[in-house]
Amino acid sequence: MSFPKGFLWGGAIAAHQAEGAYLEDGKGVATCDVMHGGKGRVAEMSDMKAIRANIENPQGYFPERVAVDFYHRYKEDIALFAEMGFKVFRTSISWARIFPNGDDAQPNEKGLAFYDSLFDECLKRGIEPLVTMSHWEMSINLTKKYNGWASRELIPLFERYAKTIFARYKDKVKRWLTFNEINMSFHMPSLGVGALIDDPAQKEAMTLRACHNQLVASALAVKACHEMIPGAKIGCMVAAMTTYPYTCRPEDVWEKTLMERRNYALTDVQAQGKYPAWFDRYVEKQNIDIGKTADDERILREHTVDFVSFSYYCTNAVSTDPAVTDKSQGNVFGGVQNPYLKSSEWGWQIDPLGLRITLSFLYDRYQKPLFIVENGLGAKDTVEADGSVNDDYRIEYLREHIKAMKAAIEEDGVDLMGYTAWGCVDIISASTGEMSKRYGFIYVDKDDEGNGTLNRSRKKSFFWYKDVIASNGEKL
Ligand code: BG6
């Protein structure tokens, strides 16, 4: 009962939000280096004019270019993760470090060598790397030349990247994730599929085509992983946005059904090997050609994932009543205010029971092991005169969510492999570009304008999480 022996406790980050060193050792300019500048960038990410201007002539502050300098400080950070007792550390490989232009004939040896050292450092300290192959980042050349995943040409390019990193790290990395939050592309195609869509009328068709191309690439990566790394496990990754109907009015419940089935459509393909029936009908009725071939269908069917990983921060509520106007924020997209829940400083509605609901729902749906690879509270921290950060609010959030995981394992029989808390060391926020939206157990001295020493220090939650891991989730 309770957390199984060998439960994978740890933390997670993404290359582009942490590494910095954006042109070092031959790395190519990546989408995140030019597309997503400054604060308040959720709006900017859907503004094609702003993105095009940034690509041609980047102006202003681009926080990912330096980020928290993980590229040079990873040894110090991994030592701190080891001090907390991490069993696993999730990060992503920057595709643009390995293939600077995305379509280069040869990989960049210096980029490959960096991840060799990073993974060696983890293993030296008893921490298993869990690697995301693509976390909202790729060479900007792929956007300029092919319009990102809107083109099928990216499928073989990604397959080559996948085979390159599997061959190189096969003795060091045994657990992989293909695309981060694959469903987010529905909301933010520039971020998710690196495609610029100028005509709003084309947005849905182009996004669905691009997502289809990613799904085929994901299945080919699963195939290559299984063939090249015996015993390795490879999973998909979805932003789990559990949605509640605002009332029990059937129209509200139907709206919830529509939201959720769309949210999981791509994961259905990755885990079950085919598109859901409603999806086929939908694209047919909308006259959308996603470019699916008979060969694609076979690839998708034959190469499903070994486990389903997801991020969970909050839940969403939907209403069909125009009088319900109080909006809530959420992970990239929101809904209406749920009056039963409190919100974070960024308006994300905090819902620990929602995590148990999500675990139960996903396990029933897919019947595959689950992995929570992101969860946490983005909050402003205050550094006291003595240097301490007393982040009791973060401890409270994490404690309640871990209790929900425990109930899902003990009482609902969910097969949960592990838990990696998001932004275990403070990093740049993906949606806002802020540094002050912090998730970490480790504080990084840097502000929203990029000032600061980048020095690391332990927050109160650092010591709390250390005890949680040491007691395998018993001491909360
Ligand atoms: C997830 C992403 O959507 O949420 C991460 O995979 C992101 O990259 C995380 O950082 C938290 O979101 P934010 O916008 O607070 O950084």
Ligand 1 pocket, residue 426 CB under 6 Å: no
Per-residue pLDDT at 121? 98
The protein residue with its alpha carbon nearest to ligand 1, atom 10, reads 430
For the cut 90, the answer to whether the pLDDT of residue 250 exceeds it is: yes
Residue 238: pLDDT above 80? yes
The pLDDT, as a whole number, for residue 190 is: 87
Instruction: Enter the pTM of the model.
Output: 0.97
Query: Is 3 within the bounds of a domain?
Result: no
- 260 found inside a domain: yes
What is the distance in A from the centroid of ligand 1 to the CA of 375?
Answer: 9
Place of tokens 């045994």: 174
Mean pLDDT, rounded, for 409-437? 96
Q: What's the mean pLDDT in 204-215?
A: 97
397 closest CA partner among 461, 475, 462: 461
Position 149 scores a pLDDT of 98
| Mean pLDDT for the chain overall | 95
Among 146-150, 292-296, 333-337, 450-454, the range scoring the smallest mean pLDDT is 333-337
CA distance 204 to 210: 10
Average confidence (pLDDT) over 340-361? 96
Mean pLDDT along residues 119-146: 97
pLDDT value for 56: 85
Q: pLDDT class for 381, splitting at 50, 70, 90?
A: very high
Distances (CA, A) of 230 to 167, 227, 351: 12, 7, 39
With a cut of 80, say whether residue 45 has pLDDT above it: no
| Nearest Cα residue to 319 out of 262, 261, 255 | 255
- With a cut of 70, say whether residue 342 has pLDDT above it: yes
Q: By residue range, what is the domain housing residue 244? A: 8-470
Residue 476 lies in a domain: no
Q: What's at 462, amino acid-wise?
A: F
Mean pLDDT calculated for residue range 339-366: 97
pLDDT at res. 43? 65
Contact partners, residue 144, CB within 8 Å, separation at least 6: 55
Mean pLDDT of 255-279: 97
User: Ligand 1 centre and the CA of 422: distance in Å?
Assistant: 8
Query: Is 185's C-beta closer than 6 angstroms to any atom of ligand 1?
Result: no
CB 180 within 8 A of CB 134: yes
Residue owning the nearest CA to atom 7 of ligand 1: 430
Q: Which of 137, 422, 432, 436 to mutate to test the pocket of ligand 1 (most atoms within 8 A of CB)?
A: 422
- Which band of pLDDT confidence, cut at 50, 70 and 90, is reported for residue 52? confident
331 pocket-lining for ligand 1 (C-beta < 6 Å): yes
428 burial (CB, 10 Å; 0-12 / 13-18 / 19+) is: buried
In this structure, is residue 1 part of a structural domain?
Answer: no
Catalytic residue annotation: 181, 374
Q: What is the spatial distance between Cα 122 and Cα 174, in angstroms, rounded to a whole number?
A: 13
Residue type, 153: E
The domain tally of the chain equals: 1
The residue nearest atom 2 of ligand 1, judged by CA position, is 430
pLDDT band (50, 70, 90) for residue 58:
confident
* Mean pLDDT, range 409-438, rounded to an integer: 96
Residue 28 lies in a domain: yes
Confidence of residue 328 (pLDDT cuts 50, 70, 90): confident
pLDDT at 316 over 90: yes
pLDDT of residue 55: 85
Cβ 14 under 6 angstroms from ligand 1: yes
Give me the half-sphere count of Cα atoms (radius 13 Å) on the Cβ side of residue 298.
Answer: 3
* Cα–Cα distance for residue pair 397/344, rounded to 1 Å: 10
181 in contact with ligand 1, CB cutoff 6 A: yes
**Tokens 């502050």 sit on residue:** 61
Nearest to 91 by CA among 44, 127, 66: 127
Rounded distance from Cα 431 to ligand 1 centre (Å): 6
Residue 327 parent element (H or E): none
Averaged pLDDT, 303-316: 97
- Please indicate whether residue 307, judged by its CB atom, sits closer than 6 Å to ligand 1: no
- Kind and range of the H or E run holding 113: helix 109-124
Indicate whether 321 belongs to any domain: yes
The reply to whether ligand 1 has any atom less than 6 angstroms from the CB of 378 is yes
Question: Would the pLDDT of 32 be above 80?
Answer: yes
Closest to 110 in 3D by CA, of 98, 96, 94, 92: 98
Got the DSSP string for 179-229? Answer: ETTGGGGGT-HHHHH------GGGHHHHHHHHHHHHHHHHHHHHHHHHHHS
DSSP string, 434-464: -SSSB--SEEE---TTS-S---EEE-HHHHH
Residue 475 within a domain: no
Q: Which two tokens stand for residue 122?
A: 């983890």
CATH of the domain at 92: 3.20.20.80
Quick check: 263 pLDDT over 90? yes
- Residue 44 is predicted with a pLDDT of 66
Helices 154-169 and 203-228 cross at an angle (nearest 10°) of 30
CB atoms under 10 Å from CB of 124, counted, come to 12
Q: How many other CB atoms are there within 10 angstroms of residue 377's CB atom?
A: 26
Cα 115–chain centre separation = 19
pLDDT of residue 1: 63
Confidence of residue 353 (pLDDT cuts 50, 70, 90): very high
Question: Residue 453: is its pLDDT beyond 80?
Answer: yes
More reliable by pLDDT, 120 or 186: 120
Residue 2, domain member (yes or no): no
